Amino acid sequence: MVREWFYLFHNDFDELEAELQEIIYHSYRRLVFKDIFYLTGDHALTEDIIQEAFSKIISISRKQKVTHTAAWIRQVTRNLALNVMKKNKKELQLSSTSLAKKIEDNMELAMQQISVANEVENNIRNESLQQAIVKLNPHYRNVITLFYINELSYKEIAVILGLSENAVTQKLERARKKLLHQFQQIWKDQ
């Protein structure tokens, strides 16, 4: 292992034979793989970090003299792994925060659209109901108005119309059926 690294640090790596380059890389990979995989827990990320660190080690070794080679290589690789993991964690936090914000915005927009749609439907329904009430016979319209709009009891309506409570109950029931029929006709036509 030391012999391969001697070539790494004392020669231009790009000028070495491809077979020797491969031997040096695999020697380096064997040295750091377990440590980096232990940190990341992800095989693909470990391989990416090892390759990036190897390039960095080649670049640094051309510029400065390195002592304690194995320890230095492990430290450079470990530091790069930690930096990558911090960066990934920040990106994950940012993406999850922005995703949560997008979901919240979409939910708010959907709720507004539902609210507007409900309001429009309520307005149409109320207009249709008013049209249906207007189309009722006057005595049915009167009973519906007294009960639902004026909110009078059966007893109060009976006194006003001079009828028994049973008669008011029956008249109101018939008025509801007629109103429902009129409303359905108007609603269907829209």
Domains of the chain: 2-94 (1.10.1740), 108-189 (1.10.10.10)
Here the contacts of 70-78 (C-beta below 8 Å, separation 24 or greater) are 70/1, 70/5, 70/31, 73/5, 73/28, 73/31, 73/32, 74/31, 74/32, 74/35, 77/32, 77/35, 77/36, 77/49, 77/50, 77/53, 78/32, 78/35, 78/36, 78/39
pLDDT in tens, 134-154: 888 988 988 988 898 888 899
pLDDT in tens, 23-71: 878 888 888 888 888 888 888 888 998 888 888 887 877 777 766 777 7
CB 169 within 8 A of CB 154: yes
pLDDT in tens, 107-132: 677 677 777 777 888 888 888 888 88
Residue 169 in this model has a pLDDT that exceeds 90: yes
